[in-house]
Chains A and B, each alone.
Chain A
Amino acid sequence: MVVPLLYATLSGFKSTDELSRNPVGLPESWVTGNYTGILGSGDFWRLIGNSTLIAVGTTVLVVAVSALSAFSFARFAFRGRETLFTLFTLGLMFPFAVAALPLFLLLRSLGLLDNPLGVILPQAAFGLPMTIIILRGFFRQIPGELEEAATLDGCSSFGFFWRVLLPMARPALGTVSVLAVVTSWNNFFLPLLVFTDSTWWTIPIGVQQFQGQYSAEYARVFAYLVLAMVPALAFYSVAERQLVGGLTAGATKG
Chain B
Amino acid sequence: MTSTFLPSADKRPGPGVDRPPPTADAARGRARRRVLHWLSAVGFQVPALVLFLVLVLLPMLFAVYAAFFRWGGFGMPSDYIGGDNFTRLFQDPVFLGDLWRCLLLVVLSLAIQLPFALAMAVLLNQKLRGRAFYRMLFFGPYVLSEAITGVLFGMIFAPGDGLADQILGGIGLDGLGGEWFADQSTVMATLFLVMTWKYFGFHMMLYLAGLQSVPAELTEAALIDGANAWQRFRSVTLPLLAPTLRISVFLSVIGSIQLFDLVWVTTAGGPDHHSETMAVTMFQYGFKRYQVGYASAISVVMFGISLVFALAYQRFVLRRDLEGATTTMRGGAK
A104-B13 Cα distance, complex, nearest whole Å: 53
CB 8 Å contact bits of B295-334 with A (1 = contact, 0 = none): 1100110110011001000000000011001111011101
A215-B202 Cα distance, complex, nearest whole Å: 31
A253-B295 Cα distance, complex, nearest whole Å: 34
The reply to whether A186 and B145 contact each other, CB–CB distance below 8 Å, is: yes
CB 8 Å contact bits of A218-234 with B (1 = contact, 0 = none): 10011001001100110
CB 8 Å contact bits of B46-78 with A (1 = contact, 0 = none): 011101101111111011001000000100000
Q: How many residues of chain B are within 8 Å of chain A by beta carbon?
A: 101
Which residues of the other chain, B, contact A91 by a CB distance below 8 angstroms? 52, 56
Which one of A78, A144, A182 has the greatest number of beta carbons of chain B within 10 Å? A78
Task: Write the chain B residue with the least CB distance to A152.
Answer: B4
The answer to whether A53 has its CB under 8 Å from any CB of chain B is no
The reply to whether B209 and A125 contact each other, CB–CB distance below 8 Å, is: no
- A233 interface neighbour in B51, B60, B73, B143, Cβ under 8 Å: B143
Contact flag A2-B137 (CB < 8 Å), given A78-B41, A102-B63, A207-B148: yes
A148-B3 Cα distance, complex, nearest whole Å: 8
Which residues of the other chain, A, contact B307 by a CB distance below 8 angstroms? 93
The answer to whether B27 has its CB under 8 Å from any CB of chain A is no
Q: Which of B11-62 contact A (CB under 8 A)?
A: 37-38, 40-45, 47-49, 51-52, 54-60, 62
Stretch of B104-112, B176-184, B230-238, B255-263 that contacts chain A:
B255-263
Contact flag A207-B47 (CB < 8 Å), given A76-B41, A99-B59: no
A222-B6 Cα distance, complex, nearest whole Å: 59
The answer to whether B146 has its CB under 8 Å from any CB of chain A is yes
The answer to whether A26 has its CB under 8 Å from any CB of chain B is no
The reply to whether A232 and B286 contact each other, CB–CB distance below 8 Å, is: no
The answer to whether A48 has its CB under 8 Å from any CB of chain B is no
The answer to whether A188 has its CB under 8 Å from any CB of chain B is yes
Contact flag A68-B48 (CB < 8 Å), given A125-B55, A252-B209: yes
The reply to whether A78 and B42 contact each other, CB–CB distance below 8 Å, is: yes
Q: Closest approach, in angstroms, between the C-beta of A58 and any C-beta of chain B?
A: 11
- What bracket does the count of chain A residues touching chain B fall in? 35 or more
Task: Write the chain A residue with the least CB distance to B327.
Answer: A82
Contact flag A98-B145 (CB < 8 Å), given A8-B152, A88-B52, A221-B151: no
- B197 interface neighbour in A1, A71, A125, A253, Cβ under 8 Å: A1
Q: Closest approach, in angstroms, between the C-beta of B230 and any C-beta of chain A?
A: 26
Stretch of B86-94, B122-130, B159-167 that contacts chain A:
B159-167
CB 8 Å contact bits of A56-88 with B (1 = contact, 0 = none): 000000001110110111011111111011111
A89-B150 Cα distance, complex, nearest whole Å: 30
Q: Which of B138-178 contact A (CB under 8 A)?
A: 138-141, 143-148, 150-156, 161, 163, 166-167, 170
The reply to whether B140 and A147 contact each other, CB–CB distance below 8 Å, is: no
Which residues of the other chain, A, contact B326 by a CB distance below 8 angstroms? 85-86, 89, 133, 254
Binding site for A on B (CB under 8 A): 1-7, 10, 37-38, 40-45, 47-49, 51-52, 54-60, 62-63, 66, 73, 136-141, 143-148, 150-156, 161, 163, 166-167, 170, 197, 201-202, 205-206, 209-210, 243-244, 247-248, 251, 254, 257-258, 260-261, 264-265, 278-279, 282-283, 286-287, 292, 295-296, 299-300, 302-303, 306-307, 310, 321-322, 325-328, 330-332, 334
